[in-house]
Each structure stands twice: as structure tokens, then as C-alpha cells.
Structure 1
Amino acid sequence: MSAEQDHLIEQATRWIVLLRSGHASDAERLAFQAWRARDPRHEELCLRLERTLGVFQVPVAQGIDGSVLQRALNAPSSRRKVLQRALLGAGLMIGGGLTLSSGLPSLDSLSADISTGIGQRQTVQLDDGSELVLNAQSAADVRFDEQRRLLKWRGGEGLVRVVNDRRPFIVQTDAGDLFARAAQVLVRERGAQCRVGALDAPVQIVTRGGDRLQLQAGQEVSFDRYRFGVVEAVRNGDSAWVNGLLEVRDSPLSEVIEALRPYRHGVLRLDPAIAGLRVSGLYRLDQSDVVLEALSRTLPIRVARRSDYWVTLVPA
């Protein structure tokens, strides 16, 4: 990493500490916006961090205290650089140089009990016999005691197969808590939004604002800290990623690209002009370049490559 890149990441890291602390003043927020607009490289870095960590979308830390990050920044150089490199998520082009993550975890997963890197899926047997399957770039903490079974979600996507037990099983996300006894539950959390699917048994959801919803078997819903979206039927392909597949039926291209990003090193960008194009098909997540080529042959789009690590989909 060049001195220029290191300095830029240092600046972005300190903005993260301030904004996630929940104590940023209006003047400091304006100063951040001015810094972000000052240089296209600042904007690119912010966009990457927003997509992978949601750090500028939610001012209060999602399970991470600002003082903890500040201590990490003030720590010896080697520890600080681990934090700074982790901020890059799947990778970022800065100026004329290229920084790669090589599977480094995101900020929230640095200390997680269970986490996956780029292109990795993992199945974990929990102490009670339940099973957790994590999609790529996902993380969770396990906190079981005599009163409850708690899974603290750190972001990403997973399938939880909950076995029956006298203790309730709780999945704690930033947006709210999920309660299940014996059920298969799909969880996806990116930024401030969470989506939950109850595959074969009811799941109760309580938002941070106190709203409650009993999700019936075969239903799914998106929600944030204060409101629920429209309850829908679980789509057949929602759990296809467990088998390394991406199954879409008349879905927007933006959804396909979002599913591919955790499986790629580097930056994968999508021109907003083509984000709404509809896609149907069955693809292999582990072969994202093949997927992009197939999309370019069936849609009016073109795959523009600066390098293997900087790819943009644009109108043909």
C-alpha cells in the first residue's frame, strides 16, 4: 500500500469512528460531506464502505462502540493497519493503485465468533444441535446460556436451522430480534435493512422500535429498526445460495449484482441506468465472471473492465 493510499484510509477510518460514535455535531457532518465531495477517490471509498459495512448510513455503531475503534486507531501501527485494511472489504481502487483484501473480514466481523470471507460459505453445528449456514462475507456471535440461545448477527446472510429446546432461540440483528423454537430461518442484513424468511415454521419479529410481527411459515419480510415492509411469500430461490447457486425469476439486475459482490475480490459496479433490467436464470455463485458474461449476452449491457478487480456493468 502506498503512502497516499495509507493516508486516505486513515482519514476514512477516523470519519467512521466519529460518525459511528453517535456524537458527531452538525458541523462535523457537514465537514464530512465536504471531505467526501472534495476528491473522487473519497467518494469511491465512501461508496465501497457504505456497501460493505453501512458505516455512513447509520450514525450509531451497529454493535461496535466508537471508543473501541478509537482505541484501535491509537494502538501500535500494526494493529491500526489491520483495522484500516479490513475497512476495504472486498477491495478498492484508489488513484492509480490497487488494494486487495485477500479475504480480509469486514469491520464488524473482526472479532466475530463465526465469519466467512470472500467467496466462502460455512456450516457450523451449534452446541444445542442447531445448525448455522453462513453465506460469503457474513458473521455472527454465539451466546448460549441456561435461559436463552442467542445468535448475534454481525451482517451478511445465513440460514439457521433451529432445533426444539426449552430455551427460546433469538437472532439479534441491528434492526430487531427474531424468536423461534424449531424452525428454518433465512436472515439477510445489509446496512440498516434486514430481511427474514420463515421457511417451515412461524417466527416472531420485534423491531427496535417495539413493533411486532408474527411471520408465518412460507412468508418473508424486510424491515428496519422502526417499520416492517410488505409480507411476501418466500421465493423458491431464496435459499439456493446454500448450494452455491443464484436462482432469480424476473428479478432486477441490481439484485443479481448484490448477490455476486460477496463472491468477488475487487469492485463490481452497476450503472444505475440498467439496474432495473429484469433477469431470470440459475447461476453458479462461485463463477461470477461466467455469470457476468452470460448476462452480457442476454441483456443490453456491456462488461467494462479496468482490471480483473475493477469491473463495471454499463449499457451496451
Structure 2
Amino acid sequence: MAGGGVAGWMAWRCTELPLLAAHWTADHRAASGELATRVLSDGSRIWLAPGAAVTLHFDAQTRCLQLLAGQLFVDTAPDAHRRFIVDTPQGRLRALGTRFHVRLLADERATLAVYDGAVELRAAGSAATTVVQAGQQRHFDAQALDGATPADPNGRAWIRGILLAQDMALGDVLAELARYRPGHLAVAPEVAGLRVHGSFPLTNTDRALAMLAGILPIRLHQPLPWWTSIEPRR
């Protein structure tokens, strides 16, 4: 019984079971490869990237979204009596009439990028708040916030189905495309660091890969329909 308990705990901690559980309990979710849009009861609109999941808690005082997984873009509707909150494991975001993007990262950090209005940000382990203005971006964890940097244009380009590559490594570009593509997508180490510039369709990854093969010294190897590898061009 003890061994079974340890095995179960390891399975929970070291696999995707927590993410699956989050999706089971979420009010809104986006499946793998799906870019989902929802209009909430107050008129606010949210966009969910593939794998994202949110739970709603609306009452007479607060409109609260709990981001359980993935990334979210929010366009808040005005409401004079209820504040708009997004809770993450790393902290709380309070919208001040705004459009913003928040993404949970793999290293237990998160990113907030504000495009209109402002967002008040508080790390989960701190009582201090910081206002992030339009055009700014902050990385944060449960204890602290990084300094403000210019908001990444990709933080809102993805809701239009576009990936903007501005001197991105090919490996990073493919990691983003893989989220919108079924099957296996891998890149050889010899070409993973190639720099990429341009815009690519997230909703048509076959076309995006063909575009990359047309501008970089790479080739696509597809031994099976669901298995694609990017290799140096010979």
C-alpha cells in the first residue's frame, strides 16, 4: 500500500495528471491544437491558446478567472461595481480597463503583457502591488517581479492565428508551432539555433513549415503522417 501511494504521488507530480485534472474541472478549456474564443456573461471576451484552462468565479463584487494552465488573452468589459481579477499560481492580476495577455511558463513563472489600459499585479507571496502600463511586460513568480520590458507583440498576435518571429531561434519557433499541430515535431540540434524573422500561420502549420523550409537551409523529414523532423538540408 505504501509503495502504491508513493507511485501514485510520483505519477501526479511527474506526469501530466495535474494538467489533465485541471482540464476536467475547468469551466472553459482549449483542446490540443485549438485556439478558442469565449464571451463571458459580463460581455468580456477571452481567448484560450491550446491546452489552456480557466475556472470562473463571478459574484456581486468580483469577476474572477483562475488560470489553471496555458495562456490567456483578456478583453475586459466595463463594470462599475465589480472588479476583474485573474488569479494564477504565481500571483493576482487586477484589470484596470484593459486588454492583456498572461501565460504560465514551465519554470513555475508567468508572463503578463498589457496592450491597453493597465493591470495591477501582486506576486502571491507579497503584499506589494505594481501597476503594469500599456506597452509593458513583466515576468514574475510567487515571490517577485522582474523589471518591465516592452510588451511582446506575440502576446496578442496569437489570437489572430499568427506567430511573429523577430530574431527567434528556430527551435523556439517550432516549439510554438508544435502546440497547434498534432503529432511529433522535432528539430535537429545542428539547425535549432538558426535565427528566424517573419510571420507564420499558427492555424496552418503545414504551410508554416513549408515557409520555414523555403527561407532556411533545412528540410522536412516525414516518415509518418504524424511524425515530422526538421533536419539540415543536404
Which of the five TM-score ranges fits, normalised by the shorter chain? Answer: 0.7 to 0.9
Q: Once the 2 structures are TM-superposed, how far is the Cα of residue 107 of structure 1 from its aligned partner?
A: 4.1
SS at match of 2:70: strand
Partner of 1:183: 98
SS at match of 1:239: helix
CA distance in structure 2 between the aligned counterparts of 1:246 and 1:200, rounded to whole angstroms: 20
Aligned counterpart in structure 1 of residue 60 of structure 2, from 117, 137, 146:
146
Q: Once the 2 structures are TM-superposed, how far is the Cα of residue 218 of structure 1 from its aligned partner?
A: 0.9
CA distance in structure 2 between the aligned counterparts of 1:108 and 1:252, rounded to whole angstroms: 31
CA root-mean-square deviation: 2.5
Q: Is the 8 A contact 1:130 1:162 kept in 2?
A: yes
**Percentage of identical aligned residues:** 30
**Shift in CA distance, 12/271, structure 1 to aligned 2, threshold 3 Å:** farther
CA distance in structure 1 between the aligned counterparts of 2:109 and 2:191, rounded to whole angstroms: 23
SS at match of 2:159: helix
Aligned counterpart in structure 1 of residue 216 of structure 2, from 266, 290, 299:
299
More strand by share: 2
Partner of 1:120: 34
Please show how residues 8-157 of structure 1 align to structure 2 within 5 Å. 15-17=10-12, 19=13, 53=16, 106-157=20-71
Ranges in structure 1 where 5+ consecutive residues have no aligned partner: 1-10, 21-48, 56-63, 65-86, 88-105
Aligned residue identity for 1:116: A
Aligned counterpart in structure 2 of residue 162 of structure 1, from 76, 79, 94:
76
SS at match of 1:289: helix
Q: Is the 8 A contact 2:113 2:152 kept in 1?
A: no
Q: Is the 8 A contact 1:155 1:190 kept in 2?
A: no
Please, what TM-score do these two structures have when normalized by structure 2? Answer: 0.85
Q: Once the 2 structures are TM-superposed, how far is the Cα of residue 227 of structure 1 from its aligned partner?
A: 2.9
Please, what TM-score do these two structures have when normalized by structure 1? Answer: 0.64
Q: Is the 8 A contact 2:218 2:230 kept in 1?
A: yes
SS at match of 1:227: coil
Q: Is the 8 A contact 1:183 1:198 kept in 2?
A: yes
Partner of 2:112: 196
Partner of 1:312: 229
Partner of 1:208: 124
Q: Is the 8 A contact 2:169 2:194 kept in 1?
A: yes
Aligned counterpart in structure 2 of residue 268 of structure 1, from 180, 185, 188:
185
Ranges in structure 2 where 5+ consecutive residues have no aligned partner: 1-5
Aligned residue identity for 2:66: K
Q: Is the 8 A contact 1:254 1:270 kept in 2?
A: yes
CA distance in structure 2 between the aligned counterparts of 1:107 and 1:240, rounded to whole angstroms: 29
Q: Once the 2 structures are TM-superposed, how far is the Cα of residue 115 of structure 1 from its aligned partner?
A: 0.6
SS at match of 1:265: coil
CA distance in structure 2 between the aligned counterparts of 1:313 and 1:209, rounded to whole angstroms: 42
CA distance in structure 2 between the aligned counterparts of 1:180 and 1:247, rounded to whole angstroms: 26
CA distance in structure 2 between the aligned counterparts of 1:287 and 1:239, rounded to whole angstroms: 18
SS at match of 1:286: coil
More helix by share: 1
Deviations 1:40-61 (A, max 9, x none): xxxxxxxxx5xxx5x7xxxxxx
CA distance in structure 1 between the aligned counterparts of 2:178 and 2:194, rounded to whole angstroms: 18
Partner of 1:239: 156
Deviations 1:169-193 (A, max 9, x none): 1111121111113110111223323
